[in-house]
Homo-oligomer: A and B are copies of this chain.
Amino acid sequence: MTTLPRPDAAPVFDTARSPHARLHPVGLGRVRLTDTFLEPRRRTNRDVTLLSQYRHLEDTHTLRNFRRVTDGSGEPFVGYVFNDTDVYKWLEAAAWTLAEAHDPALEGMIAEAAKLIEGAQDTSGYLDTYYSAGRENERWSDLKDNHELYCAGHFIQAAVAHHRTTGREQLLNVARRLADHIGSVFGPVGEGKRELTDGHEEIELALVELYRETGEKRYLELAQFLIEVRGRGVLGADEGNHTFNSTYYQDHLPVREMNRVVGHAVRMMYLTTGVTDLYLENGDPSLLEAMQRLWTHMTTRQMYVSGGLGARYEGEAFGDDFELPNARAYTETCAAIGSVMWNARLLTATGEAKYADLLEHTFYNAVLPGWSLGGEAYFYQNPLADEGHHRRKAWFGCACCPPNVARLMASLPGYVYGTAEGEVWVNLYVNSEASVPVLGQEVKLTQRTDYPWNGKVELTVGTAAHFALKLRIPAWAEGASLSVNGEALPALRPGTYTSLERDWQAGDSVTLDLPMPIRKVRSHPRVLENVGRVALLRGPLLYALEGVDHPGTPLDDLVLPPDAELSVHSAPELLGSVLVLEAEAQCSPRTDGDLYGPDASDKRPVSGNVRLRAVPYYAWANREPGQLRVWIREA
């Protein structure tokens, strides 16, 4: 193991003292990935992505927006009003990266960013470069749309991460001053404060984390105020706007009364993450019940098969129930990242495997597609069907997604394990080494596996200790089997954690076998675009067809009959080494006929066979441009 930078080893969120946490994330400083799938991408994140993103922060004037606050240059602010967050999310990513090892180049960039941020903070504690150097008297004038609290939230998250991985107080102190300033402005009218609702959630979860990092209860109370002030229908009440109404801003109902995920998808995910964080501290059952209702609504009515969220371009928003268009899927990468964060909190609150399942599924199939294999290009939207025009870009005018991917990749080892009194929770499977604290002991754990390609996992306990080892059996792992030191154990129930409590000896070996047959999935019939279509999954991975693998065959001509035999093939040269799925499929041309006519749409003649090849969806659009289909015709 690398030298740990801090005793608590940097949990991605720190529930060590949260009274209502069922388990606690094991800090990323305690987990080292050694696999050939995730860890190479994390190296790319560190060596390519973070460096190129820092250049973009310079090239787009985003760092200069900070310099202009103090340098007297009189330069105008450049970019979107919330562009400070690009720096903050990058900084958070860089801070998590320091948990692995010292990196002088990265630390130099962090130091420069930290200096700029510290310099841009007002003596009052206020921090937002758009509203500085000339716009001071407009501060807090448009809480609905101008994102000052959203910016503050991302800074606080970055400062907390920086403190967790380095132990340095510099940025945490800036965050304290900023949060104290916010707390002096916003709060109950009865306390002489402004009882206003923020337009873009993020500050809530950040303030809970700041409370956890500092122990200052007032930050938790401020988070609670900002959550509970919602639901008065204040934001977006302008008459007649069918998109940017109070539902868009999640201000239509108090959080406890919400039954549906609605509005801007990223905001919804940041809100629910913050509310779940609040529950972990105060244990208010009505908050957890509301979150569970929203999760059920999301997963049964609003979620793409990729785990992606947000059907509508208009407002980057959730649509109506079952409104899940494929080519026009919005499925913002940031919304998927928000879902990972929320599911991690729900898992922590409940210990229920379904949240870990969705965390994993969303990470592989809704976050990873947003990031090129090369590490320097990103999707903002992640469609499930395309004609070849949707390609990753190096940056965006609104560049929220790229540094959001970077911070998740950097903190990823922090999602693998959980711990609780006498318990070690294995939430994710990945070839790795870890040291997990159990009842005051550091227990060494080694995972040997080719996950996500192969479901066989050998877990070795390296330290003698008594604890319950809790292994997630994914809901898809029908027929999963388990043995300890070669002795088979009873059948496992997919969709639960299996518990193995005993006196473990150093060298004890647990072998888990999660079968990974190819799974065909169909949609609820109210998802109209998917009628008569099937999606392919294997293990945690969603698959998709790309035009480049089917030259000369439009993907809508391709039919996978229900009885076609599917097989798995290794393609070590392809897309960084993947397993592909193949089948003998039919070619049933969809000719250029009338848009409307008496002919049945499903009675075109079959014109021959064609080899179907599906690649993991996360890897699409890394070769030449062409068609994409996640949903494949069955007839």
State the A residues within 8 Å of B (CB): 239-243, 299-301, 303, 305, 312-314, 319-320, 322-323, 325-328, 387, 396-398, 519-532, 535, 556, 562, 590, 592-602, 604, 634
Contacts and interface: CB of A to CB of B under 8 A. Distances in A.
A300 B530 CA distance: 22
Contacts of A526: 556, 590
B327 A532 contact: no
Nearest to A319: B328
Most central of A239, A398, A599 by chain B CB within 10 Å: A599
Given A240-B397, A323-B328, A396-B240, A530 B601 contact: yes
The 10 closest A-B pairs by CB, nearest first: A528-B529, A525-B601, A240-B397, A314-B314, A313-B314, A525-B590, A521-B596, A524-B595, A300-B595, A531-B531
A531 B556 CA distance: 13
A301 B593 CA distance: 10
Given A243-B313, A531-B531, A532-B531, A596 B327 contact: no
Contact of A597 (B240, B521, B592): B521
A597 to B, nearest CB: 7
Contacts of A239: 397
Contact of A522 (B325, B328, B596): B596
Given A243-B313, A323-B327, A529-B528, A522 B396 contact: no
A601 B239 CA distance: 40
A305 B598 CA distance: 12
A556 B524 CA distance: 12
Contacts of A398: 240
Contacts of A314: 312-314
A529 to B, nearest CB: 4
A563 to B, nearest CB: 13
Total copies of the chain: 2
A595 B531 contact: no
Nearest to A395: B240
B312 A522 contact: no
B387 A522 contact: no
Contacts of A397: 239-241
Nearest to A299: B595
Given A397-B239, A532-B601, A602-B532, A387 B596 contact: no
A595 B299 CA distance: 7
Most central of A326, A532, A595, A601 by chain B CB within 10 Å: A595
A303 B242 CA distance: 23
B556 A596 contact: no
Most central of A396, A523, A529, A531 by chain B CB within 10 Å: A531
Nearest to A528: B529
Contact of A313 (B312, B562, B590, B595): B312
Contacts of A328: 312, 319, 323, 325
A599 B239 CA distance: 43
Contacts of A326: 528
Contact of A598 (B519, B528, B592, B634): B519
Contacts of A242: 313
Contact of A595 (B243, B523, B529, B556): B523
A531 B525 CA distance: 11
Given A314-B313, A397-B239, A532-B531, A525 B604 contact: yes
Contact of A596 (B523, B596, B599): B523
Nearest to A320: B327
A522 B319 contact: no
A489 to B, nearest CB: 27
Most central of A521, A528, A556 by chain B CB within 10 Å: A528
B596 A535 contact: yes
A328 B322 CA distance: 12
A595 B321 CA distance: 10
Nearest to A534: B600
A527 B300 contact: no
A310 to B, nearest CB: 13
B529 A529 contact: yes
Contacts of A327: 320, 323
A590 B314 CA distance: 29
A596 B534 CA distance: 10
Contacts of A528: 326, 528-531
Nearest to A240: B397
Most central of A314, A535, A601 by chain B CB within 10 Å: A601
A559 to B, nearest CB: 11
Contacts of A529: 528-529
